[in-house]
Structure 1
Amino acid sequence: MEITSVPFLNQDEYSYFYSFFQNFDNDTENSANKRRKTDDFSEENNSLDEFLDILNDNEIPTSSLHIPGSETEVNNLDFESRVDLEQGRVRKSRKSSPVAFHGGETTGEGGGQRRRLWVKERSKGWWKYHNSDECPDDEFRKAFRMSKATFNMICDELDSVVTKKNTMLRMAIPVRQRVAVCIYRLATGDPLRTVSTLFGLGISTCHKLVLEVCAAIRTVLMPKYLQWPDEERIKKIKTAFASISGISNVGGSVYTTHVSIIAPKTNQEVFYNKKHTQRNQKPSYSTTVQGLVDPSGVFTDVCIGYPGSMSDEQILEKSALSQRSKMGQMKNVWVVGNSGYPLKDWILVPYTHQNLTWGQHTFNHKVNELQKISKDAFMRLKGRWGCLQKRMEVKLQELPMVLGACCVLHNICEIYNEEMDVELMFDLHDDEMELENGRGISVNALQARDSIAHNLLHFNHGK
C-alpha cells in the first residue's frame, strides 16, 4: 500500500497563504461593515436617498404569473419590498392573492392563504355564440348537423349520465357543452386542437369528453333509437319495401362500408385494405360497419369493428343477422344485399352471370333500387359525421363505441327529419366486393329467387 506524505510549508509559501487569507478577512469585514451600515440606518441619520441607493445595489427580484386570456391578472410569487424604518432593515413579505380558489372562494381573516388549482383560462366565445339565441338555427345546423331542438332533446336524454358535480377545485363543465364537444368532433372530424380552441377547453379534456359522451349515447340512446324492429314495425317495413320494388316480405337492405384507421401496432395485415391501398397508392387500413336499414334509411341492426381485410360474406357470417337466422327469427323475411353477399334462404342478391333473361334483368333492377336505399343511408352517415371520412385516431378497442354513436346519431337525424346540405353528401369508394364463387348456395334459395323474378316480370308489381 502506498502512503503519500504532505510536506510542511516553507517560509515563502506560508507568507503567500497568510497574505491571501488576510485579504479574504478584509473583504469579509467590508461586507459586514456594509450590512452594519444598513442596519444602523436610523442611528447614523443617513438620508432616505442614501438608503435607497443601498437597496438599488441589492435588488430584490419581483416575479408575477400572468394567465393569458384571463379577465384578471393573478399574481403568484408576488413579493414587495417593505422598509421597516423603526427596525432599520429590509423585509420581503408575500402579498396575499386576491383570489384563492377557482369559483370565487377567498381566504378568511387569520386563516392564511389557501392553495388554488391554477386553470388556464381560454376563450369560449365561439361556443357561447352558438349556445345563445343569437345564433340562427341554420348556422347551428352547419356546425352540429342537427337543429337546436334535436340537440336539446339529446342533452335532456343524456343529462342524468353526463352531468358532473362541482368540486372545491373547479366548476364542472355543463352538460350542453360536453355533448356539443362530442357532436362537433364527430360531425366535422376537426383536430382536437381546433375543438379545444373553439370550446375553450384543454385538448385532453376534449378527447375525454368525446369518449364519455359516446359511451353515454351507447348506454342511453342506442336501446331507444337503434333496435331490432318488433312484429308491428316489421309489417310496416315489408309494406313500404313492397311498394318500392314489388318484392314481398323484404325486411331490410344491408350494406357494408369501410372506415380508415391508423395502422395498428399489432396484426396490421388483418386490417390491411387492398382496394383502398390501390386507390390511394399507399398502405391503407380500415375497419368495417355493416348496417341493415329500413325504407327511410334508419339502421335497425349494425355490426361494427371487424377488420378491413374481411369480405362482406365473412362479416355477415359473424354478425347478429346470421345468428338470428339460425335461431329462426328470419322466417318470412328477406334481406336484400349486393353481389358481395351470398344468396341464402333469407338473403336476396342480384344475378351476376351474363346473358340475363328479361325476368332476371327486372329482378336485378328492383334489387338495385332497394340497395340504393342502404347505400344512400351510408352516404348520409359519412356525410353528416365527417370523422368517418378521415383516418380514425382512437384506439381499436374504442372504435366500436365511437362508430356506434355515429350510427345512433344518424338514426336520430333521420327520425327527426333533419335536413342535410347537398355539399355534405359523400361518395362511397371501393366498398363493394365481389363474391368469390357462389359456393354453398341452396337449391331452395335459387328456386325462390327465380320465382320472384318470374312474378316481377309477369305481374308487374310496384315500380
Structure 2
Amino acid sequence: MEVSAFSFLNQEDYNNNNMVDQDINNNGNNPIMKTTTDFDTESSDKAAPSFDEILATFTHNNWAVDTGFDSFTNQIPQPINDYVDNSHGSSSFSDFKDNKNNKRSRKETPESSSGQHQQQRRLWVKNRSNAWWEQCNSPDFPEDEFRKAFRMSKSTFELICNELDSAVTKKNTMLRLAIPVRQRVAVCIWRLATGEPLRLVSKRFGLGISTCHKLVLEVCSAIKTVLMPKFLQWPDENKLNEIRSEFESISGIPNVCGSIYTTHIPIIAPKISVAAYFNKRHTERNQKTSYSITVQGLVDPKGVFSDVCIGWPGSMPDDKILEKSALLQRANNGALKDQWVVGNSSYPLMDWLLVPYGHQNITWTQHAFNDKIAKVQEVAKEAFGRLKGRWSCLQKRTEVKLMDLPVVLGACCVLHNICEMRGETMEPELKVELFDDEMSPENPVRSASSMQARDQFAHNLLHRNHAASHDLYFVGQ
C-alpha cells in the first residue's frame, strides 16, 4: 500500500552570483579587496612603488576574486590572511613565496631547525558505551523488560529484523566494522517507541548522534519499502467478508468495510508555509500555538490499518484531506461499490461514506443510528490511540525534518499493524486519549441516494432494537 505524502514546501532559486557581479561592476572593483601599502599615489614625497610591490598587490586581489570571495562579508579570505602582514604594509612577491615555503616546510617536518617541537594533529574519537544495548540483546534479558523498552516481544522484534536483513545490512570496511542489523533496527524502534531526543539515543546505544539519526531514517525507509506491501495493504475479498461481518455484529449496519479517522501530529513551526501548518483548534484548546501534520487512516474491526494518507498540513480540514487521498481514487474506481466506510461528522455523506446525522433536533430514530455509528467510529479512534501510545514520538514535536516525517509516520503505522496482527499487548499507562476536534464540512451532504440509505438504516435499526427488547420482555415473563 502506498503512502500518500505531501510536504507542502515551496522551493525558490536564488542567484547570488549576479548580485556579486553587479556590486563589482558598479564600483569598478571589489571594495573589500583593498590591501594596505607603504606608498600613497597622491603623495609626492614618497618613492614610487617597486615592481615586486605592484605584483604582490595584483596577486592578492586576483586570488581573492578567483576564490569566490563573498563581497557581502567584511572579512579577508584566509589564504590572503596567511601571507599578508598588515602591520608592515604590503609584502614583496619574494616574501610571499618565502612565507609559503616556510609553511610547507613546517608541515613536512615534525620538528623545526631550532629544536622546538611542533604540535601535530591527532584524530580524537569519543569512547561510548553500548552496555545497555548489549544487555537488551542478551538472550537472558527478561521478556517484560524488552517489551517495555521496544513496545513488542522478542519474537516480533526478531521477525522485523529478519524481514529487513537484506535491506539494512552494511558491509565491513577497512576503517571500521559495520553496525549489526539488530542494533540498527533497535535504534529506530526505541527512538519511535520512546520519542527520546537523539542525544539520549546516542547514549543508550553507544553511537554518534548523527549516526543514530541516519539509522532511524534508513530503517524507516526500509520498513516502507519492504514491510508496507506485506503488512499494510488493501484486503482481498475473503478478508473483506470477515471485516463486513465483524462490523455488522458491532453496529448492526451491513456492508461496512472500514472506519476512517484523521489525527494530528505536532511539529515544530516550519520555516516555509507556516500558516498552512497552523492548527487553530489545538491552539485554542491548549492556549499554546500549535503546528501539525495529519494522518488519515482506514482500519478494520481489529484496529489494523488498510489505508493511510500522511503529511497534509494541519490547517486542512478532514474532508479536504479525503479529497486528496488515494482512498477517494479507490472509491471512484469502483473498489468500494456496495460497501460503506464509516466516518465522523468531519466527513461528508457520500455514495460510499456513511456519517452520523449532524443537524440539530434529531429524532429518536436518528439518535439511535448515531449511537451505532459511534461504535464503529470508536474502533478507529481507539486504534489511533494505541498508535500514539505505542509510538510516543507521535505525541511530541520531533527533531525529524518535515520532508522526512511522512516516511517516519508511515513506518509507525506499519509497525502498529505488525503488533496488532501478532496480538502484542500494550501497557494501560501508555494509552492515549485523543482530542482531535471535528469540523463540519462546507458541503455535508453530497449524495441523495446515501441520504435515503441512511434513513433506511436508521429505521431498521430502531425497529430491530424494539423487536429485540420485546422478545426479551416475554422471555423474562
- The bucket for the TM-score relative to the shorter chain is 0.7 to 0.9
Q: CA deviation at 1:439?
A: 4.8
Structure 1 unaligned segments of length 5 or more: list them.
5-78, 80-89, 93-114
Contact 1:242–1:462 (8 Å) recurs in 2: no
> Are residues 1:348 and 2:354 paired?
yes
From the superposition, tell whether residues 195 and 358 of structure 1 become closer, same or farther in structure 2 (CA, over 3 Å): same
> Are residues 1:284 and 2:290 paired?
yes
From the superposition, tell whether residues 227 and 2 of structure 1 become closer, same or farther in structure 2 (CA, over 3 Å): same
TM-score, normalised to structure 1, is 0.74
> Are residues 1:262 and 2:305 paired?
no
Q: CA deviation at 1:332?
A: 1.1
Q: CA deviation at 1:116?
A: 10
1:138 aligned to which of 138, 141, 144:
144
- 1:396-415 counterparts in 2 under 5 A? 396-415=402-421
- Quote the residue 2:45 is aligned against: 2
> Are residues 1:149 and 2:155 paired?
yes
1:432 aligned to which of 434, 437, 443:
437
- Quote the residue 1:220 is aligned against: 226
- Quote the residue 2:130 is aligned against: 124
> Are residues 1:203 and 2:209 paired?
yes
Aligned mates of 2:225, 2:256 — CA distance in 1: 30
Aligned mates of 2:408, 2:442 — CA distance in 1: 35
- Quote the residue 2:93 is aligned against: none
Aligned mates of 1:119, 1:172 — CA distance in 2: 17
Aligned residue for 1:396, secondary structure, equals coil
Q: CA deviation at 1:357?
A: 2.1
Q: Work out the percentage of aligned pairs sharing the same amino acid.
A: 65
- Quote the residue 1:360 is aligned against: 366
Q: Which amino acid counterpart does residue 360 of structure 1 have in structure 2? A: Q
> Are residues 1:253 and 2:268 paired?
no
Contact 2:279–2:292 (8 Å) recurs in 1: yes
Aligned mates of 2:347, 2:254 — CA distance in 1: 20
Contact 2:349–2:444 (8 Å) recurs in 1: no
- 1:377-396 counterparts in 2 under 5 A? 377-396=383-402
Aligned mates of 2:198, 2:396 — CA distance in 1: 14
Q: Deviations for 1:360-382, whole angstroms, at most 9, x for unmatched residues?
A: 11111110000000000000000
Aligned mates of 1:437, 1:462 — CA distance in 2: 38
- Quote the residue 1:455 is aligned against: 460
Q: Deviations for 1:384-426, whole angstroms, at most 9, x for unmatched residues?
A: 0000000122112111100000000000000010010000001
- Quote the residue 1:420 is aligned against: 426
Q: Deviations for 1:157-211, whole angstroms, at most 9, x for unmatched residues?
A: 0000000000000000000000000000000000100000010000000000000
From the superposition, tell whether residues 334 and 123 of structure 1 become closer, same or farther in structure 2 (CA, over 3 Å): same
1:445 aligned to which of 450, 453, 458:
450
> Are residues 1:332 and 2:375 paired?
no
Aligned mates of 2:125, 2:154 — CA distance in 1: 30
- 1:38-49 counterparts in 2 under 5 A? none
From the superposition, tell whether residues 339 and 134 of structure 1 become closer, same or farther in structure 2 (CA, over 3 Å): same
From the superposition, tell whether residues 369 and 462 of structure 1 become closer, same or farther in structure 2 (CA, over 3 Å): farther
Deviates more, 1:402-411 or 1:389-398: 389-398
Q: Deviations for 1:229-254, whole angstroms, at most 9, x for unmatched residues?
A: 11111111001111111110000000
Q: Which amino acid counterpart does residue 456 of structure 2 have in structure 1? A: S
Aligned mates of 1:295, 1:445 — CA distance in 2: 23
Aligned residue for 1:356, secondary structure, equals coil
Contact 2:136–2:146 (8 Å) recurs in 1: yes
Q: Deviations for 1:295-351, whole angstroms, at most 9, x for unmatched residues?
A: 000000000000000000000111111101111111011000001000111011111
Q: CA deviation at 1:3?
A: 5.4
Q: CA deviation at 1:223?
A: 0.3
Aligned mates of 1:424, 1:218 — CA distance in 2: 25
> Are residues 1:159 and 2:165 paired?
yes
Aligned mates of 2:122, 2:228 — CA distance in 1: 41
> Are residues 1:180 and 2:186 paired?
yes
- Greater RCO, CA 8 A, separation 6+: 2
Deviates more, 1:431-440 or 1:204-213: 431-440
Aligned mates of 1:325, 1:216 — CA distance in 2: 29
Aligned mates of 1:454, 1:323 — CA distance in 2: 31
Aligned mates of 2:417, 2:252 — CA distance in 1: 26
Q: CA deviation at 1:437?
A: 4.4
Q: Which structure has the larger Rg?
A: 1
From the superposition, tell whether residues 150 and 325 of structure 1 become closer, same or farther in structure 2 (CA, over 3 Å): same
Q: Which amino acid counterpart does residue 447 of structure 2 have in structure 1? A: S
Contact 2:347–2:444 (8 Å) recurs in 1: no
Q: Deviations for 1:34-89, whole angstroms, at most 9, x for unmatched residues?
A: xxxxxxxxxxxxxxxxxxxxxxxxxxxxxxxxxxxxxxxxxxxxx9xxxxxxxxxx
Superposition misfits of 4+ residues, deviation over 6 angstroms: none
- 1:293-304 counterparts in 2 under 5 A? 293-304=299-310
Aligned residue for 1:397, secondary structure, equals coil
Q: Which amino acid counterpart does residue 160 of structure 1 have in structure 2? A: S
Q: Which amino acid counterpart does residue 457 of structure 2 have in structure 1? A: I
TM-score, normalised to structure 2, is 0.72
Aligned mates of 2:254, 2:46 — CA distance in 1: 109
Aligned residue for 2:403, secondary structure, equals helix
Aligned mates of 1:252, 1:462 — CA distance in 2: 26
Q: Which amino acid counterpart does residue 309 of structure 2 have in structure 1? A: C
Aligned mates of 1:146, 1:271 — CA distance in 2: 33
Q: CA deviation at 1:359?
A: 1.8
Q: Which amino acid counterpart does residue 291 of structure 1 have in structure 2? A: G
Q: Which amino acid counterpart does residue 395 of structure 2 have in structure 1? A: Q
- Quote the residue 1:18 is aligned against: none
Aligned residue for 1:251, secondary structure, equals strand
Q: Which amino acid counterpart does residue 433 of structure 1 have in structure 2? A: E
Aligned mates of 2:233, 2:387 — CA distance in 1: 17
